A and B are shown apart, each in its own frame.
Chain A
Amino acid sequence: MSMAAPGISSGLAEIVGPANVVTDPTQLAAYGIGACAPKIAVRPGTNQEVAEIVRLAVAEKLALVPVGARTKLCMNIPPRRYDLALDMTRLDRIVAYDPDDLTLSVEPGISLRKLADVLAEHGQFIPLAVPFLRNATVGGTIASGADSPLRHSYGTARDYTLGMEFVTGDGKIVKSGGRVVKNVSGYDLHKLMIGSLGSLGVLTKINLRTFPAPRELRGLVAYFDSAQSAVELRQSIAKSPLKPLTLEILSPLAAESLSCDRAEQIEPGQLRAYALASGRWTILASFCGAEEVLKRYERGLREVAGTADSVSLGKSAAAVALGRVREFIPIALESSPAAVVVKASVLPARIGELLGDAESIAAESGVRSAAIARGVGLIYFALLPESRQDENRSRAARAVSRLRDACIRRTGNFAIACCPAEWRGSLSKLQTSGAELELMRKLKSVFDPSGVFASNPLASDT
């Protein structure tokens, strides 16, 4: 890896001050994506500085990646080139917060935790219960498109992001949407930014709706001998008037991994050993409300669960269980030196079929696996090989390829959420093709005409 040209680092220093330019290789290693580390990292403090840096990068033909707390870089396809890390953590201000209007405008570098503390003072929150919650920034969360168990009742970021400001690949500061809860002025450019992994623009401001924080959380856990019977309970709940806050189906190994010591290190808290680790398929439903409402949920859920074994979770146990489910991906990454996490979605009624496919595919390929399925029809499926040896790599690749086929056969969507960077090439393949992919490519070139943003989720490296 060559060093950055001195002219570039002094150019950057002129924009942000020398203290905010990182050239030390040890520090730079922390910005790496896979084996690929940048030559230089820069920490802008304002949107204007971001725009100037992008313009400089364009002029110097540098490939840059905007980063926050760097918790989810594993979700990115390693870029072909990565010269400059744009560290956004100094842009961490709350630009505006109007608790009485339940709206908020923040800079992307603010951590979810810090923001949560401010919102909690007003009894409010943002339903981004995403993995790596303790470190993640708002910008990284939005840009990665990370989802949350709370989507069952609140939807995803696209449902409560009101507007954004971002810097495009030609160094212009652009905005769309606004900071009111209802708005149809102009095209919703900000929707494209969600989940685009920093490939279309650098987020500099994010406007969000806030929500009253759920009070008196409770949970119910029910156990089943098969994925299909767990899914049947999901279907019965959907047909009832009950609207749980979250609804997650855990494979036996997923439930067990969420209860182990490693999980407790990632998401501390007391959980009765048997609550999740029953060795069976498990449904975790959480709900909240006033006392009569809680009673109704408890009664109603038990009624639909029928003869299935079940356990009630009090306030703190429900919060811990939900926290562990939220951290499924980090826990999976800690459980194997080469975890491959697949994100697949199908129609809710087909969750059971796909979970069944996944189980047999994993068993046949001889790789340990764990899965959680969100009630909305999304499955995170983790393959947990014992090592990064080539043999495991080809096992994982085989399993992933069969899983992709199964998913497409069941008219679902398929993507790799994360995997060892050096395995990407043998695993990744964007499902989109044809006219839709062409539209996406054209949009990429409109937002980033010179290709200064190194991330490219549309890249097919197979």
Chain B
Amino acid sequence: MDSRLLHDLKKLLGTEGVLHQPEDLLLYEYDGSVDIARPDCVVFPRTTSDVIELVKLAIRHRVPLVGRGAGTGLSGGALAREGGIIASFARMTQILEIDAENQRARVQPGVVNADLSLAVAHLGLHFAPDPSSQKACTIGGNVSENSGGPHTLAYGVTTNHVLALEAVLPSGEVVRLGSSAVDSPGYDLLGIFVGSEGTFGLVTEITVRLTRLPEAVKTLLAIYDSIDDATETVAEITARGITPAACEMMDGWTIRAVEDYVHAGFPLDAAAILLIEVDGLSEAVDSEAEAVADVCKQHHARNVRVARDAAERDLLWKGRKNAFGAAGRISPSYYTQDGVIPRTKLPATLRRVGEIGRKYNLAIGNVFHAGDGNLHPIILFDERNKKQFQDAVRAADEIIECCIEFGGSITGEHGVGMEKDRLMPLLFSEADLELMKRVRAVFNPVGLLNPGKILPNSKGCGEIYVRPQRPAAAPSA
């Protein structure tokens, strides 16, 4: 890295605000995905004006700049694909304002998702988007990726809860998008910015909506001897117009991996379980739980039980949210996919995933947001076995192709990042991608902000992208 730039960065942020030794950079060359890319340096701004100066420096020196929260992302969004500077928001972690009366909070981007909910719990409020990595992931990262989570089924994803942003554009200008009051005038810049994966600007402040905690919650565990029965239950719950707060599925393989680790009380001999939560007014919750249990039983659930208390409910959720960590204990490496399909296609898709696993002789676990039709197949492999690694990538691609064939999408909540840019032409035409590119250029004309993400660089989709050969860390989805 240019010593002049390094000098300028240290002058701006202090020596302790800049990392550039190779051993320090190791931590920042990966996220929760299977990709790696090493930055030239990592910097830690403390204020919006630090970020402004930082952006100006990067542009002046023509060096790529990539924002990063906790690095829990699953598509390489926070990796410096083309080198350059990573701006970590680990020092912008203040909750700036809690306005209980209007159910708003204003936070810096480095605030950890779960910390905000903890900070407002005494007011009977929470921040509804709850990625499984919520104990580590940051709200800035959630905004960039438009993150989901189990409870987005009823509550919506991040974009439905963000009211306003302050962001620094590559020009060094500060913009305020949206407003804490609803319906800001003009085009919906906020709507297009959320989920732009750090390619439009660096977010320095976020105003979110806080949601009242429900009066009553019931968590059901339905146990199945066949995967088909479980997926058909989900399709039927959807078709009947029941919207639980969450509806998650784990297959037998995942159950056994998790149970060995978390001891959540999942039955080891089951083919699948559904974890279904209903919440709201106590009068509504009782009847809704009954309706859900009825559908489960009609589809041959072996057993349906309701968590007796908060402790049991927390344990069940702990089992669900640690499923990916559990996979990491079993296999040297694994690859988590993130396809989406119409809910009616759940049974057929899961059967296809099983066939793909058998075809390549790979173990594939399934733990996912069934109610949203958002799959997360976990493909296990050993990266030392080159053929197995290639097979894992092929299997993942086949699963995504199946999602597209069924009318779905290549990513539901993990983002395109550097993982799936090459797959974008499967969903979008050249005209679609060209317009997206021109929209990106409105915000990021020089292209130095998070380059090499979302949009494929080459024309056509025949290019074979060689994945870096590296074991995955233990992410969570």
Cβ of A184 within 8 Å of any chain B Cβ, yes or no, is yes
Contact indicator A175/B428 (Cβ below 8 Å): yes
Asked whether, in the complex, the Cβ of B182 is within 8 Å of the Cβ of A159, the reply is no
Known interface pairs A124-B241, A446-B438. Does A345 touch B407 (Cβ–Cβ under 8 Å)? Answer: no
Q: Which residues of B contact A178 (CB under 8 A)?
A: 340, 407-409, 427
Distance of A98 Cα from B399 Cα, bound (Å): 22
Q: Is A29 close to B, CB under 8 A?
A: no
* A-B contacts at CB below 8 angstroms, number: 240
Residues of B within 8 A of A4 (CB): none
Whether A195 contacts B175 in the complex (CB less than 8 A), given A124-B241, A186-B416, A242-B281, comes out as no
Instruction: Output the residue of B104, B181, B242, B243 with the most chain A CB within 10 A.
Output: B181
Binds B, one of A61-69, A110-118, A290-298: A290-298
Cβ of A174 and Cβ of B104 under 8 Å apart? no
Min CB–CB distance A381 → chain B (angstroms):
14
Q: Is A279 an interface residue (CB 8 A)?
A: no
How many whole Å from A178's CB to the nearest CB in chain B? 5
| A-side contacts of B188, CB under 8 Å | 158, 191-192, 194-195
Give the residues from 192 to 220 in chain B that come closer than 8 angstroms, CB to CB, to chain A: 192, 194-196, 212, 214-215
The answer on a CB contact under 8 Å between B369 and A196 is no
- How far in angstroms is the closest Cβ of chain B from A43? 24
Judge whether B109 is part of the interface by a CB distance below 8 angstroms.
Answer: no
Q: Provide the residues of chain B in CB contact with A446, threshold 8 Å.
A: 435, 438-439, 441-442
A275 within 8 A of partner (CB): no
Cβ of A406 within 8 Å of any chain B Cβ, yes or no, is no
Min Cβ gap A211→B in Å is 8
Taking a contact as CB atoms under 8 Å apart, the answer to whether A182 and B169 are in contact is no
Q: Is the CB of A435 within 8 A of B280?
A: no
B363-387 contact mask (Cβ, 8 Å, vs A): 1 or 0: 0000001001110000000000000
> Among the listed A158, A180, A185, A430, which residue makes an inter-chain contact with B341, where contact means beta carbons less than 8 Å apart?
A180
A440 lies within 8 A of B189 (CB): yes
**A to B CB contacts below 8 Å, 5 in the list:** A185-B424, A186-B416, A347-B104, A415-B185, A439-B443
Question: Among A180, A348, A349, which residue has its beta carbon within 8 angstroms of that of B373?
Answer: A180
A174 touches B431 (CB 8 A): yes
A364 proximal to B (CB < 8 A): no
Given contacts A103-B342, A158-B188, A413-B183, contact A168 B435 (CB under 8 A): yes
Among the interface residues B183, B184, B431, which one has the most CB atoms of the partner chain A within 10 A?
B183
Contact with B along A176-215 (1 / 0, CB 8 A): 1011111111111101101110001000000000011000
Task: Decide: A241 and B281 in contact? CB cutoff 8 A.
Answer: yes
Does B71 sit at the interface, judged by CB under 8 A?
A: no
Check A437/B414 contact, CB under 8 A, given A182-B148, A349-B101.
no
When chains A and B are docked, how far (Å) is the Cα of A181 from the Cα of B157?
A: 10
B424 pairs with A186, CB closer than 8 A = yes
Query: Closest chain A residue to B283 by CB distance?
Result: A292
**CB atoms of B344 and A98 under 8 A apart:** yes
Instruction: List B222-268 residues whose CB lies under 8 Å from chain A.
Output: 235, 238-239, 241-243
Chain A residues lying within 8 Å of B411, measured Cβ to Cβ, are 183-185
Return chain B residues, CB-CB under 8 Å to A82.
Answer: none
B180 touches A440 (CB 8 A): no
Closest 4 CB pairs of A and B: A212-B241, A191-B191, A241-B215, A100-B239
The answer to whether residues A293 and B182 also contact, given A123-B241, A179-B407, A180-B341 and a CB cut-off of 8 A, is no
Among candidates B103, B175, B369, B424, residue contacting A439 with C-beta atoms closer than 8 Å: B175
Known: A187-B196, A189-B435, A292-B283. 19 other contacts (CB 8 A): A100-B238, A172-B431, A176-B428, A180-B342, A180-B408, A184-B195, A186-B455, A191-B192, A292-B284, A346-B181, A347-B181, A349-B101, A349-B102, A378-B182, A414-B185, A435-B175, A439-B189, A440-B189, A443-B439
Q: What is the CA–CA distance of A291 and B191 in the complex, to the nearest angstrom?
A: 38
Interface size class of A (residues with CB under 8 A): 35 or more
Q: How far is the CB of B314 from chain A (nearest CB, A)?
A: 21
The reply on A289 being an interface residue by CB < 8 A is yes
B134 cross-chain contacts in A, Cβ below 8 A:
none
Considering the chains assembled together, what is the distance between the CA atoms of A415 and B186 in angstroms?
Answer: 9
Query: How near does chain A come to B212, taking the closest CB pair, in angstroms?
Result: 7
Does B412 have its Cβ within 8 Å of any Cβ on chain A? Answer: yes
Asked if B436 and A180 sit within 8 Å, CB to CB, the answer is: no
- Residues of chain A from 149 to 164 with CB closer than 8 A to chain B in the complex: 155-156, 158-159
Contact B101 A235 (CB under 8 A): yes
With A123-B241, A200-B187, A377-B181 in contact, is A238–B160 under 8 Å at CB?
Answer: no
Are A430's CB and B101's CB within 8 A?
no
Closest chain-B Cβ to A164's Cβ sits at a distance in Å of 11
**Closest Cβ neighbor of B285 among chain A residues:** A293
- A34 interfacial contact with B, CB 8 Å: no
Contact B341 A186 (CB under 8 A): no
Given contacts A101-B344, A191-B191, contact A182 B185 (CB under 8 A): no
Q: Is the CB of A457 within 8 A of B372?
A: no
> In angstroms, how far is the closest chain A Cβ from the Cβ of B139?
16
B152 within 8 A of A: yes
Query: In this assembly, does A102 line the interface, its C-beta being within 8 Å of a C-beta of chain B?
Result: yes
Alpha-carbon separation in the docked complex, A436 to B164 (Å): 13
Complexed CA–CA distance, A211 and B153 (Å): 13
Q: How far is the CB of A202 from the nearest CB of chain B, in Å?
A: 14
Among B187, B188, B196, B243: residue with most chain A CB under 10 A? B187
Bound Cα distance A161, B212 (Å): 24
In the complex, how many angstroms separate the beta carbon of A132 from the nearest chain B beta carbon? 19
Q: How far is the CB of B407 from chain A (nearest CB, A)?
A: 6
- List A contacts of B194 (CB < 8 A): 188
Whether, in the assembled complex, B454 has its beta carbon less than 8 Å from a beta carbon of chain A, the answer is yes
Task: Give A344 Cβ to nearest chain B Cβ, in Å.
Answer: 9
